[in-house]
Structure 1
Amino acid sequence: MRMTTSDEDLAKAAAKGDADAFAALLARHYDRIFRLAFRLCGRGDQAEDLTQDICAAMPAKISGFRAQAKFTTWLYRVVVNAAEDARRRQASHSRAAVGWGDVEQMRRAEAAETAEAVDWLQRAMCALPQELQDTLALTLEDEMTHAQAAEVLGVSEGTVSWRMSDIRKRLRALRQEELA
């Protein structure tokens, strides 16, 4: 009986929850949905995904069928709308990916710059006398105050401050020498 029932009657029954009517509609029109999706997408894998998405959404959408036009006309409109939505999502994802790509490139550039600065500082520290290396290692990145470093090194706080001043002067001179 389902083979002789019109698409419109099956759609009305499916809209009321008739699972057999819905299955009959899908069986009749799955290939048609796929062919149109393929023509709209141009790629088989995308057409298959789109067809599956449409079939999964059909139970909710079928209630929107009003039988004012042929079922196939309504179905084509559903496929075209789904393809347009997919293109918009893809374009949105592409724009977001481009944006993330820019952010990632900047992040990597900053990381490379930071790594280069750390490498330079490590090399420059090795060029300093040992007592200055020790002082810098203790006070670098605010690990210790000058008073705490002085206690560890067994020198006065003034000596640590003087050493830090000397370190800055030597590192500046080294950097200027490299840039010249």
Structure 2
Amino acid sequence: MGLTAAPPPDTSEALIAALVLRARQGDGAAFGALIADQYERIYRAAWRWCGNRDDAEDIAQEVCVKIGQGISAFDGRSAFSSWVYRITLNAVRDWQRAGARRGRQASAFAEVSHTESAPEQEASATSRQLWDAVRQLPDKQRDAVLLVYAEELSHAEAATIMGIKEATVSFHVYEARKTLRGLL
């Protein structure tokens, strides 16, 4: 009978929980530390959804403001990172709706100017074409693909963020694969 030691506690989760508690109580330094910890993830997710550095920066800053406004209401029923992804997803959807109202074309959102540098994993032209195609998917398919593949979240984590069942995330990913085969 082989006994194994329990894995060490995840200190990063404990640290985040402590920072969240302090930030909820109005500690500005704790809030700053939370934003510093989450900002790259927020920006990366926004960039993948919109494909434009300037828009991604605007979205990331808007998300930080929304986190500040809502931190006191965060109840801890989900992981803090899931809550942040949810806010990011909603901010991207708000940005897309605002763009549609201004009459922008969806393909214009995915353009990356020559002065922008995409994240390393999207440096190749083939990868850029793939992510451009992903941005053309229907909303729920796009969101599921970006959360599962780009953000490397489990279907369960993506389901929590999207507010749907895990099986529905799997269905959206399956449908997205079929759609992408036709686009590429």
Normalised TM-score (structure 1): 0.48
Greater Rg over alpha carbons, structure: 1
Q: Which one scores higher on RCO, CA 8 angstroms, separation ≥ 6?
A: 2
Normalised TM-score (structure 2): 0.47
More helix as a share of residues: 1
